[in-house]
Structure 1
Amino acid sequence: MAHTRNHGLIHGYLLDGKGGALEMDWPAIQAWSEEKGVRWLHFDYSDSHIEKWLTAESGLKPLISEALLAEDPRPRATLIDDGLLIALRGINHNPGAEPEDMVSIRLWLTSSQIISTGKRDLRSVKDMVADFSAKKGVKNAGEFIVDLSDYVIWRMTETLENLDDEISATELEVLSFGGGELRGKLTEIRLQAVALKRYLAPERDALNRIQIEKVTWLSDHHRLQLKEITDRLIRHIEDLDEIRERAAIAHDELGNKLSEQLNRRMYMLAIVTIVFLPLGFLTGLLGVNIAGIPGAQNPNAFNIFLGLIFAVIFVQLILFKFKKWF
Structure 2
Amino acid sequence: MRLDDERESNNIDDIRGSGGGGVRGRTPIRIGGIGGVLLVLGAMYFGVDPRIVLNLLDQGSGGAPSVVAQQQASSSSPTAPASDPQKQFLSRVLASTEDVWTAYFQQMGKTYHDPRLVLFSGGVRSACGYAETSVGPFYCPADQKVYLDLTFFRELKDRLGAGGDFAQAYVVAHEIGHHVQNELGIMEQVNRSGAAAKGATGTSVRTELQADCFAGVWARRADDAKRILQTGDVEEGLNAAAAVGDDRLERQAQGYVVPDSFTHGTSAQRASWFRRGLSSGDVRQCDTFSASTL
TM-score range, shorter chain: 0.3 to 0.5
The structure carrying a bigger helix percent of its residues is 1
TM-score by length of 2: 0.35
